[in-house]
Amino acid sequence: MNVFRKENNCLKYHYDAEELWIEPWGDNSFRVRATKMAEMPKENWALSVETEAIMPEIKIEKDYAGIKNGKIEARISRYGKLTFYNQRGEVLLDEYLRNRLDVFAGYCSALEVEARELKPIPGGDYHLSMRFVSEPEEKIYGMGQYQQPYLNLKGTDLELAQRNSQASVPFAISSLGYGFLWNNPAVGRAIFGKNITTWEAYSAKGLDYWITAEDTPAKIEESYAKVTGTVPMMPDYAMGFWQCKLRYQTQDELLEVAREYKRRELPISVIVIDYFHWPLQGDWKFDLNYWPDPDAMIKELEEMGIRLMVSIWPTVDYRSENFQEMKEKGYLIRTDKGFRIAMDFQGNTVHFDATNPKAREFVWEKAKKNYFEKGIRIFWLDEAEPEYSVYDFDNYRYFLGPNVQIGNIYPAMYAKTFFDGMKAEGQENIINLLRCAWAGSQKYGALVWSGDIHSSFGSLKNQLAAGLNMGIAGIPWWTTDIGGFHGGNPKDPAFQELLIRWFEYGTFCPVMRLHGYREPLKEPMGTKGGAACVSGADNEVWSFGEEAYEICRMYLQLRNRMKPYIAELMEAAHRKGTPVMRPLFYDFPEDQQSWEVEDEYLFGPDVLVAPILYADMRNRKVYLPKGSIWKDYWTGETMEGGRTIEADAPLHRLPVFTRNNRSF
């Protein structure tokens, strides 16, 4: 019996209970799917952008079959072992299996380990494991945002799940010349071991991944963007400075801060109203006791050239004016058993079901009436402390235990709520600030921030790796709480130094946003509505002492001068999926040293940034990539690339270098 068959442009393999498909999915790319169910699952998940039909070269022999699509080729043996090659015949990725089906094969072993393991679990799905042979010297980048300091992810163990400050976006670029998307929106793990690379999904109906082969990291990234989508064009006003704190409690407080920025002639683009500006969660409107005239407030801000962003939570309080209607219509998430409460912060609440299109439409209509029609165009879609997991994606039954987290697909669907709504209103430049994202979230205007992180230099170092790997994972809009979220006292000299160094780094992030839960806390103003929630200490640029203020003022002006350059970077992100901030190897793949550097990055093609990641550091080594002439931004000195220099870094100076005659 022949285990291979060709159907249209797809190579198919069937052995025992397994059905495997390999088909072209974009230039130089394949989509691979496998299942032991009666039918192949129909969902495309992140691969939602329609691609042109490609007729590959398919060859079927007695003992193997091959399929070729441009620069990538896949070969599968009659015993099911799958290997990928580039156009030079070099192995890109090779399945790891150990069995005795082929006693002449190099992998022949009594271990009986499957490469594609679909282990049945209660409920009818599978615990999925996919194993590949590991190349020990390979370097892996991407995968989203994790709170750890490693840019190169080889040797790491990554949870595939969304958490506060963790965003699982399972697309990776390899130094071997391939890109790999784990197209399974399930909670799981990715282990980039020295001997084996293992991908796991704890509950899935089948295997689904996408692989592409290209000559440079930039081309790999662009191929990925073609099949998963790109961000909209970021509006000009969003490229400047965003002022935020936890939390402005009243309309008067927020307006006074905005007026002070204008009195001091400080550049500011956006000011943010954080959570509990509403009467109850799920009301999705201003509490008029503390925000008595939103229309007048928004008008005054616009006259000052400042846009307003509001935080919108997905939680619905049992006491909310919308709770009963949403429950009756099935717009709220459900539990397998037990009482339906997801969180008890400031009231018993449950999330709206963002996977339900009608629920998304309902929430948008409320937001449209109370925010969008007032002129608000930027939404902070806080997932309200996501700490949980999803299993049954078809029936949308979620919860495991009291801390219920909606799984990896939820952040994308949450962003889609507001993306679809604003698109329907003719709004093209859409921004949704999110704590988490998944593969493809970028096309819904997802701007991801790195969550409630600690105020420390160790945390700052983690954000460097997080932001760069997030960009490689296909999410070019990324930001971090300047100064960190927890534990910063504006009057503490140690925190003031941290704030300065973070502010300098934040100037060269895709979005520059000052935020934090500063100490000491401010007591609640009252007992009802938003007044019952605490606020943090002052968090404006003049809150951290005179020296910090003067340095922040200098970098605010620099960010403002860079806006035309940033617009170029945002255009490239919109058109091609190019990360705004990226590792050195992205633009210098032929320079081997650029693959080794983990504490510098490029802000666009022409600006090299070397952050100060340690307290009391006043100089540091900087590697200048080979093949360009680099100019010290501060001194004007020019230097040939391909060498490491010692750069001065007094408290007011972040080492920055430019090329191609770029100046600001």
Active site residues: 382, 385, 452
E strand spans, 37-114: 57-60, 64-69, 72-77, 82-86, 91-94
d(C-alpha 522, C-alpha 518), whole Å: 9
Beta-bridge partners for 157: 191
Q: Which run of H or of E encompasses 586?
A: helix 584-587
- Phi, then psi, of 388 in degrees rounded to 5: -150, -175
Q: How far apart are CA 116 and CA 180, in angstroms?
A: 16
152 with 140: CB under 8 angstroms? yes
CA distance 452 to 60: 54
Written as six digits, the tokens of 459 are 């945390």
Give the whole-angstrom CA distance, residue 606 versus residue 30.
33
Element (H, E) at 581: strand 581-582
Residue 69, C-beta contacts closer than 8 angstroms, at least 6 positions apart? 24, 27, 28, 29, 30, 54, 56, 57
Q: How many other CB atoms sit within 10 Å of the CB of residue 112? A: 10
Considering all CA atoms of the chain, what is the largest pairwise distance in Å, rounded to the nearest integer?
Answer: 82
CA distances in angstroms from 71 to 107, 188, 577, 589, listed in the order given: 26, 30, 21, 18
Cα 584 to its chain centre, rounded Å, is 20
Beta strands at 307-311 and 378-381: parallel, antiparallel or unpaired: parallel
Q: Alpha helices of 406-492 — where are they, by DSSP H?
A: 410-424, 457-472
- For residue 636, with 0-12 CB atoms within 10 Å meaning exposed, 13-18 middle and 19 or more buried, which class applies? exposed
**Sole residue written with tokens 């340690």:** 614
By the 10 Å C-beta count (0-12 exposed, 13-18 middle, 19+ buried), 663 is classed as: exposed
